[in-house]
A and B are shown apart, each in its own frame.
Chain A
Amino acid sequence: MLHGYAASLLEGTGLTLAVAAASLAIACVLGLATAAARLSGSRLARALGAAYTTVVRGVPDLVLMLLVFYGGQMAVNALAAQLGYEGFLDIDPFVAGIATIGFIFGAYLAETFRGAILAIPAGQREAGLAFGMGRLQVLLRITLPQMVRLALPGFTNNWLVLVKSTALVSIIGLNDMMQRAGQAAGATREPFTFYLAAAAIYLAITTVSLLALRALEKRYSLGVRLAR
């Protein structure tokens, strides 16, 4: 049915998952840092965090991706020329892709994390401090473990949107599942078949993610009384 392109599609799926996982790692780091900045006492940090989350959420992924890909290319080469390098540097679409997607979803995750931290009663933090824990200890022992449970529903949503966003990396030339589907579609003249296969693979990824994250949510909600 797939005229022998199944293996190629699966290989591309691997790349899609790699892009998604790498972007998620970047996004988590950025998201935590930004959530911390937005909750910090420094007015500058709060303003920077707010500007980042507002601007990124107001501009399409595709525009940011093209900006990083083409603009980054130019910036890197200008910098290299300044340093006396004479050749031409190509930006790797994988790096541009995960940098952009990580940067975008850092903003979304920051809001998820911030909301989760705000939902932890302040008394818990105060109790930790009263017991003589340091601020870092309070963060690691009190805030983060509880934040995971509260952030999971939002995190699930963010992850599902992120996975779907990775389809855009095919536009900047990465040989992901989407682009392989396009190549197969062109070679066999059966675009519907191959884009349908791509859709099925994305659906499989989102379904598995949904089930896994739901199980995780259950695990983290052990000991929490549910009103039911």
Chain B
Amino acid sequence: MNLEAIGESLPSFVEGLQVTAILLAAALALGLAAALPLAFARTSTRAWLSKPVWLFTYVIRGTPMLVQLFLLYYGLAQFEAVRESVAWPWLSSAWFCAIAAFAINTCAYTTEILAGALEATPAGEIEAARALGMGRATVMRRILLPSALRRAIPAYSNEAIMMLQGTSLASIVTLLDLTGAAREMNSRTYLPFEAFLTAAAFYLALTFALVSLFHLAERRWLAHLAPRR
């Protein structure tokens, strides 16, 4: 192990860590925001509302995120209308495409997680709320959402960790995230073990940080399910 070389590259790893964190936070925030209404649509009894959402999550979950990223980053340039549109400076940037691809991907998985949590709501809770005279929107806001969001936390923590690993794909479209920093160090110093093991250590630390964050969330919001102490 060449610790000196790792020390010299440490600043670029720290910058990579920031890029990874930004990608992850942006993708998760956008994905979750879009997944909320989609989950309600997915659980709707109206077919014209639930079927398209089902198709969306099925296609996204059935294809690799790398393909989705390439479709956005390389694929869009095929269309002249896109190249000449005002949005092209964004659509051609690696940052925009990476965040968009990651957000769409996590949105599909999160939609399914939330839809599952919504469907697991005991029917009696909804009936009780209706019996008390609550309208549809009130039931949604007071009964469905709070309990479904709680129930979704364990599954969502897995999704967030998978997304963290997924952000490593950003290095393929030229972004210098943690993996990008490692690839850059490897090609500069030809020390593959030092480069990729350092990146792996950073990812492992991030994973543990996420896991403990979600443990805190579960302690806070799922306290009623914890074993009695």
Question: Which of B128-136, B197-205, B219-227 forms contacts with chain A?
Answer: B197-205
Are A63 and B168 interface neighbours, CB within 8 A? Answer: yes
User: Which residue of the partner chain, among A62, A70, A185, contacts B169 with CB atoms under 8 Å?
Assistant: A62
- Give the nearest-CB partner of A207 in chain B: B62
> B95 on the interface (CB 8 Å rule)?
no
Q: How far is the CB of B65 from chain A (nearest CB, A)?
A: 7
> A216 on the interface (CB 8 Å rule)?
no
Are B199 and A58 interface neighbours, CB within 8 A? Answer: no
Q: Which residues of B contact A190 (CB under 8 A)?
A: 78
With contacts A191-B77, A192-B76, A203-B63 taken as known, whether A60 is within 8 angstroms of B165 at the C-beta atoms is yes
User: Which residue of the partner chain, among A55, A198, A202, contacts B204 with CB atoms under 8 Å?
Assistant: A55
> B111 on the interface (CB 8 Å rule)?
no
With contacts A60-B168, A67-B197 taken as known, whether A74 is within 8 angstroms of B192 at the C-beta atoms is yes
> B216 on the interface (CB 8 Å rule)?
no
Q: How far is the CB of A74 from chain B (nearest CB, A)?
A: 6
In the bound complex, how far is the Cα of B191 from the Cα of A90, in angstroms?
17
Are B200 and A195 interface neighbours, CB within 8 A? Answer: no
We find that the number of chain A residues with CB closer than 8 angstroms to chain B is 38
In the bound complex, how far is the Cα of B208 from the Cα of A79, in angstroms?
35
Q: Could you tell me which residues of chain B, from 171 to 221, have a CB within 8 Å of some CB in chain A?
A: 171-172, 178-179, 182-183, 186, 192-193, 196-197, 199-200, 203-204, 207-208
- Overall SS of chain A's interface: helix
Q: Which residues of B contact A60 (CB under 8 A)?
A: 164-168, 179, 203
Are B197 and A171 interface neighbours, CB within 8 A? Answer: no
Q: Could you tell me which residues of chain A, from 22 to 79, have a CB within 8 Å of some CB in chain B?
A: 55, 57-64, 66-67, 70-71, 73-74
In the bound complex, how far is the Cα of B113 from the Cα of A217, in angstroms?
22
Are B75 and A192 interface neighbours, CB within 8 A? Answer: yes
Are B192 and A63 interface neighbours, CB within 8 A? Answer: no
> B64 on the interface (CB 8 Å rule)?
yes
A sample of 6 cross-chain residue pairs with beta-carbon separation below 8 angstroms, ordered by A number, consists of A59-B165, A60-B179, A67-B200, A189-B78, A196-B71, A203-B62
Q: A58-B161, A192-B75 are in contact. List 10 more A-B contacts (CB 8 A).
A: A58-B208, A59-B165, A59-B203, A62-B172, A66-B179, A164-B65, A178-B67, A195-B67, A196-B75, A207-B62
- What 10 pairs across the A-B complex have the smallest Cβ distances? A70-B192, A192-B75, A60-B168, A58-B207, A67-B196, A167-B64, A164-B64, A60-B165, A191-B74, A206-B62
Q: CB within 8 Å of B: which residues of A?
A: 55, 57-64, 66-67, 70-71, 73-74, 160, 164-165, 167-168, 170-171, 178, 182, 185, 189-193, 195-196, 198-199, 202-203, 206-207
